[in-house]
Structure 1
């Protein structure tokens, strides 16, 4: 990779407390943990990295499956929050961007990147870096904000239009900075093709957060929602049903 940083990834340092985002999102967090546990069940890894892992909410889970875990996060304020959450653990916390990873070639055998792709309209550099630092045969789990979820497929069908193959912006707030953080949804088939070009071969996928709805969360206990989520993730994966798709990949 060029030493010149191509993308700015420090927007979460700009007076934004991402930990507050997870207030009242216990279901979404649980759904993501369910997916990772399912995709890693029975496996053990030597070295793992949680790429763009924020304040480390999933890093603790990775430590159950890997002997060494690094939280790789570009935001200084996120790392400050992670220091509190991960205090007393042996999880390393290092400031770095996904397009400029501070690992040696083939150093890792497990990588997760969750809730990062919706900030990456053009993820080729990030995919290349993941492939570089992952050993041949290593595993990557990449979560993708899904353009083709159930509601969108109905919308585009009603409009008589095909599902876009390129990322689509879902930003609702006006852009107030020249390098304001992107918010996009991706076509899953397009992303799988990009990953394959980088040397990362799809081996499994799950549809995640299938019950993401403020109305459902208002009336259904979280235990009911997570039970349904466990049952639904694999059957709905083939239809790319949910708003979040978890891709399990193998480094060729």
Structure 2
């Protein structure tokens, strides 16, 4: 189990001088891979009301608007929402400051929820999953991305050592936390997360393996367009093996 779980969850953990928009500089492949996964999972479907939970500065909201009549960016960070003002300018996408474990939505009021690159920061997600289930209507869809500790490299390493993969989240923090409530950085066991989601009433329908070519070496030698083309061909094929560092889960509210 990770040892850097925050003492409490606070909305300003990304309001401490960090510009998340710059994180996406030179990450065109990762962004395109995630958009490709969402398109694949939502292809041919339309929704009335959708929310991107923990959606940062609205990076994926414009894509969601292609599938939903009304989209809300549900983000805890004030500075992220300020950045979203520019990204989402001229659109009808709503912006709400709210935490994933205490969402500012009525019961069963949403038809679609996405939560991408958020589990990376939640060592124990039971409250968040309960909230997602509460605000999602019965039969509604949730797309949840999981930072996958059991990706191919780790799975091969553990097998070589004759060890089983951890079932608990694993801290991957590379530097010491600068404050007692500093945001967590963890990777998860996908099977454990699927079980936790089922316990909250969110039942797995499909999954995709995403960012399968995430490698600085490959980025230096392969054009982004080629990497994205290969990525699209691999997302379904590698899903059953939980190959990639990012697993997208499509879930239905029971």
TM-score, normalized by the shorter chain, greater than 0.5: yes
CA distance in 1, matches of 2:102, 2:179: 23
Alignment of 1:92-241 (within 5 A): 92-241=94-243
CA distance in 2, matches of 1:170, 1:230: 27
- How many residue pairs get matched? 248
Higher relative contact order structure (alpha carbons within 8 Å, sequence separation ≥ 6) = 2
Match of 2:87 among 85, 88, 93: 85
Aligned match of 1:242: 244
1:6: how far off?
5.3
1:160: how far off?
1.8
SS of residue paired to 1:161: coil
CA distance in 2, matches of 1:9, 1:38: 32
Q: Which runs of 5 or more residues in structure 2 are unaligned?
A: 1-6
CA distance in 2, matches of 1:200, 1:236: 23
1:158: how far off?
2.0
TM-score by length of 2: 0.96
SS of residue paired to 2:154: helix
Aligned match of 2:4: none
SS of residue paired to 2:197: helix
Aligned match of 1:19: 21
CA distance in 2, matches of 1:211, 1:128: 33
RMSD: 0.9
Deviations 1:110-145 (A, max 9, x none): 000000001000000000000000000000000000
Deviating runs (4+, > 3 A) in structure 1? none
1:226: how far off?
0.5
CA distance in 1, matches of 2:130, 2:10: 17
Deviations 1:10-51 (A, max 9, x none): 211000000000000000000000000000000000000000
Q: Which runs of 5 or more residues in structure 1 are unaligned?
A: none
Deviations 1:131-190 (A, max 9, x none): 000000000000000010000001111222100000000000111100111000000000
